[in-house]
Amino acid sequence: MNFETLAGIKNVMTFFFGNMVEQNTILMLSIYLFLFHLQEFPDSLKEQIYLKEWHVYNTLIQTIPAYIALFQDLRVLDLSKNQINHLPVEIGCLKNLKVLNVSFNNLKSVPPELGDCENLEKLDLSGNMEITELPFELSNLKQVTVVDVSANKFHSIPICVLRMSNLQWLDVSSNNLKDLPEDIDRLDQLQTLLLQKNKLTYLPRALVNMPKLSLLVVSGDDLVEIPTAICESATGLKFVSLKDSPVETIVCEDTEEIIESEREREQFEKEFMKAYIEDIKERVLKPSTSKVKFAIKVPDSNNGNNGG
């Protein structure tokens, strides 16, 4: 079977699901690309321009083909955990794109043309480790509600992000932030702000002026003080201060498998934070600011003892 052709991929999909890829269905390649270590998208894929979603994970693919510009109906482009090292300028042709997830790849920059994706609602660039800035043209993304740029090398929140007027969720954790912009309150729709694992020494009072901000997470260790106004906010803000662990490696309690690489560690911590935040949201709390300190005790890999 020739797995380098779309026909081959269809045959594999038939083998697993008994269904051929048909018009208006979703292109689900994740398991197949992982199993067969695909290094590039097949050229014959450009014949399937009716597809609305791509989901491709854990492959050796490094580039997104220029023919992606042909996929005018594409709504979701989920290419997380591959080896992609750049985004083509043609990505700006995807006017109907709503979700772009290129997390945990090898990106170092983002093309200005991404700002032409005027209907984009979710942008995930997390875990690329090397991105330091975003082009100002992304200010045009007025429909974006979720931006995740965690686990990169940002020294400040990008100006373009501050101009995303509909933003509700912003994750800039695990970067090199030393301060927050004094005009951060221009994000008046923001509900969740994740700042943990940065180098912040203070939090601006402008955070109090964000009426919809309901969850603020920081690392706390580098903060000289927490503004009283934030802790006494009457907006129902949940303030969470995490205590960073000095441990260099993390052991998964279920498998006792040591996560050694920084990228894998970030993935592990991200999944943990996602579950933790969901837990917070499910709690029934009084309509006042809640200050929570939380620490993860990592089990010792030498003796196998579990910590809580």
pLDDT in tens, 92-108: 999 999 999 999 999 99
Q: Give the lowest-confidence range in 86-100, 126-140, 194-208.
A: 194-208
- What does the pLDDT read at residue 232? 72
Q: Is the pLDDT assigned to residue 242 strictly greater than 50?
A: yes
CATH 1.10.760.10 fits 23-176, yes or no: no
Calpha distance 81→59 (Å, rounded): 7
pLDDT of residue 68: 96
d(CA 143, CA 165): 8
What's the whole-model pTM score? 0.78
- Domain map (residue ranges) of the chain: 23-176
Q: Which run of H or E residues covers position 10?
A: helix 6-17
The predicted pLDDT at position 235 comes to: 66
CA distance linking residue 126 with residue 267, whole number of Å: 9
* Span 29-80, pLDDT tens digits: 544 455 557 889 888 888 889 899 999 988 899 999 999 999 999 999 999 9
The Cα 205–Cα 217 span in angstroms is 15
Supply 265's token pair: 């560690």
Give residue 277's pLDDT.
Answer: 72
Give percent above pLDDT 90 in the chain. 51
- pLDDT of 275 reads 72
